[in-house]
Chains A and B, each alone.
Chain A
């Protein structure tokens, strides 16, 4: 180790790895991964969320899974739950839509209305 900058670089990189273990209030993206979800393609959706967050270096958002929420016909479903408890439910997702949700909802804080359950049911 020849400089403090070098240490800082390692720290930044390693922090990304372990930030998942911090239990403070953060935004959660919960992907429905029951049989119906997986069959409809939930796994690529979840991976797209994880990769996009990683690419953009976003650490205060976690991705986790949940079971079936009962709207199997609209799978893959994902919910974005913000630290204040506000919940947005997205339906009929694919990897591309997942990336847009990260870009617009997470980064720019503008929910992607066209993918929400409200839009789908109209």
Chain B
């Protein structure tokens, strides 16, 4: 039976958390009640990217995209849209007054400015159905590679495409494969780094949840290219949906003979297994990751030897990130020239960013390299809530740095970000507005690395801890003359002395905020003030006598009775009692309370 309509429902982690499974159950029930369950197909998909507006539902053939769908909306959608063919306009994403629904998304900047390569199938196919992936040219690149190309031709194509690692470092992928291919050894390994650890980054999870087969296909291609028969995906156990869909995908690929022995009737055989990580940040570092796969404690080791020479169990190994792999099949099918036509001179293709923080459209976006931060924040991201001013964007997570408002028009690519003192990282992009304290942000990221330091080398274990102590001092108003310089000295020593990438990059958030917002540090240390009004210990709530009408509202709301006065005369806050909760400021109807 052919279905006359497909209802796609996002089942990424975000939408699942906001009741997508319940919506699907209701939909099944309502369709059955109307007797049209055989005409309408329910399809669960991966992430559409616009998590802010989830749960998302798309109904074809009309292409109507509904947002913020609740289980209670389902009955109306079935009755109106699926039975009577009338669009439920109030739920439409984008233009709600259009005659032609397919046009309703025309003015939605979030979608029409994106270029989807790595995310090409996310939100389009059912990730648990291998045939839908095959319909979208899935496994055709693997077929082409093993039946028409030599391993060297595959590597040359990837080299020519200019693809660089999407996990953080930006090392040329083709070159990595070339190194591993050159090694002579009976046993080699292909690993996938799905240990996504940067706070706020979730593109790898979304790809695994929305399009797991693209990663499997790419790993098999990599295996063919370097001469390996075994792959491992190292994924964190905290991603249960991703792990589940990967398991289903691997089983399906084996059933279809797309993994296993003699793929496409050739001599090439390849298998993939999953290894679960316990969620330690350091296990995203390549040597620690491989040590963890071996069953040992996840600690890094010195390089060289690099994994391409001596990796997993001492054998030549390549390790690529999920997003890097997701690009591979497309490059082989559409060609290196097509891929390298997207992007900038040294950064080819697209990059997926997880946009979060003070931004209207929180979600996942894929943009061509070279787009400016301004376009990402304002055109795609929909700008900053409440009309606040943009202050800085943090990229690269705890290893990266910030880009201040003065550089908002710099094209985003690997090299520009490094030059600005930040880095691409895995693609977390946290937007900060004028109410953000940069010292506090630096402290947040440092707290993270102190927690996550594995403790093997002293510069990272002790150095980051000392830096954090200084930052805690500064933000609590006990900063001393010379603290900033101490931070800088420590940062430089840690960068030089730490064993692995985690330690070497841990001081970056401090260094980059120091570079652009040194005055804020100085205000904390010298004047004991937090210009953004975030660090509580440095704040003072005060009543402006001229504006106070003496209504007594604040004094009644104050949880610690710190405000007193006589009705119709200006009130006063007792600073020794004040806990700086800010309730008085929120309740005052005359804007008579200020914080400094």
What is the interface of chain A, defined by CB distance below 8 A to chain B?
Answer: 1-4, 7, 10-11, 13-15, 17-18, 20-21, 23, 28, 30-31, 33-34, 46, 50-51, 53-54, 62-67
Query: Which of B102, B134, B137, B256 is the one whose CB lies under 8 Å from A23?
Result: B102
List 13 additional contacts besides A18-B135, A21-B6, A65-B85; criterion CB under 8 Å. A1-B139, A7-B143, A10-B134, A17-B131, A17-B135, A18-B6, A18-B125, A21-B124, A33-B85, A34-B84, A50-B2, A50-B4, A65-B84
Residues in A neighbouring B556, C-beta threshold 8 A: none
CB < 8 Å neighbour of B257 from A1, A17, A20: A1
Residues of A within 8 A of B137 (CB): 11
Least Cβ–Cβ distance between A122 and chain B, in angstroms: 29
Whether A46 pairs with B4 at a CB distance below 8 angstroms is: yes
Give the CA-CA distance A4 to B142 in the complex, in Å.
10
Q: What are 26 of the A-B contact pairs (CB < 8 Å)? A: A1-B139, A1-B264, A2-B257, A2-B265, A10-B131, A11-B137, A11-B140, A14-B132, A18-B6, A18-B125, A18-B132, A21-B60, A21-B124, A33-B83, A34-B84, A46-B4, A51-B2, A54-B2, A62-B60, A62-B61, A63-B61, A64-B5, A65-B4, A65-B85, A67-B84, A67-B85
Complex alpha-carbon distance, A51 and B4, angstroms = 10
Docked-complex contact A20 and B264, CB < 8 angstroms: no
Q: How far, in whole Å, are A11 and B333 apart by their CA atoms in the complex?
A: 15
Please state if B264 and A4 are interface contacts (CB–CB under 8 Å).
yes
- By Cβ-Cβ distance, the 6 closest A-B pairs, closest first, are A65-B85, A14-B135, A62-B61, A1-B257, A14-B131, A66-B85
Docked-complex contact A7 and B140, CB < 8 angstroms:
yes
Query: When each residue 1-31 of chain B gets 1 if its CB lies under 8 Å from chain A and 0 otherwise, what string results?
Result: 0111110100000000000000000000000
Binding site for A on B (CB under 8 A): 2-6, 8, 60-63, 83-86, 102, 124-125, 131-132, 134-137, 139-140, 143, 147, 256-258, 262-265
Partner of B3, one of A20, A23, A67: A20
User: How long is the Cα–Cα vector from A34 to B265 in the complex, in angstroms?
Assistant: 54
* Complex interface: chain A residues within 8 A of B131 (CB): 10, 13-14, 17
Distance of A45 from chain B, by nearest CB (Å): 12
Closest Cβ neighbor of B143 among chain A residues: A4
CB distance from A12 to the nearest CB of B (A): 9
List B contacts of A14 (CB < 8 A).
Answer: 131-132, 134-135
Residue among B60, B140, B147, B256 making CB contact with A20, cutoff 8 Å: B60
CA–CA, A3 and B263, complex, Å: 8
Write the chain A residue with the least CB distance to B61. A62
Whether the pair A28, B61 counts as a contact (CB closer than 8 A) is yes
A11 near B134 with CB under 8 A, answer yes
Instruction: State the CA gap A63–B2 with chains docked (Å).
Output: 11
Contacting residues, chain B, for A7 (C-beta < 8 A): 134, 139-140, 143, 264
